[in-house]
Chain A
Amino acid sequence: MRLILQTGPSGAHSCRLPVRHAATAAAVVAVLGAAPIGAEPVRVDPETGAATHATQAHGVSVSLTQLLPDQVRAFYVARGFDLADADVFADACVYMTVLRNDTAPGEIDFRLSDWEVRHNEEVRPLPPLDDWLAQWTARGVPDSARLAFRWAQFPSEQTYAPGEWNQGMLATGLPPGSRFDLIARWRIADQTYEGTLDDVRCTD
């Protein structure tokens, strides 16, 4: 994982530091003890091969554990999805995602709309929750099943005081077999922090 300290206004879009400030930023990062960390999985299920990628920096930890397509299908079929509808989500490279404010110096805020996936040299946003819900409505997924889907997802936005966290599903929207980097962003006061989980493989 790489952690990059960014600056910018409090608006929706923060900017990376200009190059001339890179050395300063690197120094700040070093002082805060957030040196880059390796990207190897911290855990691999010996039977399924599902890997967990995790890191901790600036007092915030992030982890991704792949939910295999059959696991995702089973979860949603049990909650009222037709198999064909569950297949759509199961094939979108779904991860059990945990973000936790362990010891950050204050509350952290994030919006998934600020997170990105880098795949095949392209950077793209994560599929928004509202798009999934609209798709389920169009496909006639029952209300109760859509409700289960909504609450099982990793929150679209959230604020965590130290000690607070969530665990939920996050779909990258990539096809099975993809390798990608996840770029997670959060804010503390008026500063944006960026953590990247590199070379995550979506097992098919």
Chain B
Amino acid sequence: MCVAPIDRIRAGLSVLPALLLCIGTLGAVGTVGAADLPPLSHRLTLIEDPAAAPPLRLEDIEGVEHDLADLKGRLVLVNFWATWCPPCRREMPSMERLYQQFKERGLTVLAVDVGEDMDTVFAFTGQLDPAPTFPLLLDTDSQAAQDWGVKGLPTSFVVDPEGRVIIRAVGGTEFDAAAAVDQLVPFLPKP
């Protein structure tokens, strides 16, 4: 249940507990259960005419810079998300499971947080199960999201080993669903 904290705001009292409750439930609103949430998609959209991926060079939450250009030869899942975005939170564990399943076969995941700071993202990661072990990049001014043509969160792209955007996924996606995996596997780097 999302507790209304406005009286506490006006009274100058701590609103953090109430805000956390609200932020956690805004997508579902109120007391609706998981069964009432919009289902995550189990399929990806193949792009008919793949084009070169836009540049992507950002620091992660530990201050380490990542450049997509350095990942030629790997299959890269680029995911644009935010901590307050309910479907983003719901799909992230599936990205971690996918990453664990295929990282040794050449899959890299870059999760690009749009418009938030390091503290916000870092605090959020502890709430996930499994917690992400792939890099969480910070697009604090949302310039990268705009460069990639993102219009809503979450939006994900798959970049093939040659650096072309070959797959798109708009909206929350269960990335380790069998149908999605079947679409990704053919593009993994050849051993």
Q: Which residues of A contact B (CB under 8 A)?
A: 43, 45-48, 50, 52, 63, 65-68, 70-71, 73-75, 77-79, 83, 96, 98, 100, 144, 147-148, 150-152, 154-168
Contacts and interface: CB of A to CB of B under 8 A. Distances in A.
B171 A45 contact: no
B169 interface: yes
23 contacts: A47-B1, A48-B29, A50-B29, A50-B30, A71-B2, A73-B6, A74-B2, A74-B4, A74-B23, A96-B27, A148-B84, A150-B142, A151-B142, A151-B153, A156-B151, A160-B171, A161-B45, A161-B168, A164-B41, A164-B171, A165-B41, A166-B151, A168-B152
A55 B168 CA distance: 26
Interface in B64-105: 82, 84-87
B5 A70 contact: yes
A68 B170 contact: no
Contacts of B22: 71, 74-75, 78
Contacts of A164: 41, 45, 168-171
B19 A47 contact: no
Chief secondary structure at chain B's binding surface: loop
Contacts of B42: 163
Interface in B98-131: 114-117
A75 B25 CA distance: 11
Contacts of B87: 167
Contacts of A165: 38, 41, 170-172
B80 to A, nearest CB: 9
Contacts of A71: 2, 4, 22, 26, 29
Interface residues of B, number: 45
A147 B45 contact: no
- Of listed B27, B142, B171, residue having the most chain A CB within 10 A: B171
B129 to A, nearest CB: 22
A110 to B, nearest CB: 11
B43 interface: yes
Contacts, number: 129
A65 B152 contact: no
B15 interface: yes
Interface string B169-183: 111100000000000
B45 A167 contact: no
A158 B26 contact: no
Contacts of B168: 161, 164
B18 interface: yes
Interface in B159-191: 168-172
Interface string B38-65: 1001111100000000000000000000
B139 to A, nearest CB: 10
Interface of B: 1-2, 4-6, 9-10, 15, 18-19, 22-23, 26-27, 29-32, 36, 38, 41-45, 82, 84-87, 114-117, 141-142, 145, 151-153, 168-172
Nearest to B8: A74
Contact of B29 (A45, A152, A157): A45
Given A48-B30, A70-B4, A151-B115, 6 more contacts: A46-B31, A78-B19, A96-B27, A151-B114, A158-B170, A163-B43
Given A100-B171, A154-B152, A147 B142 contact: yes
B4 A147 contact: no
A70 B26 CA distance: 11
A167 B39 CA distance: 11
B114 A77 contact: no
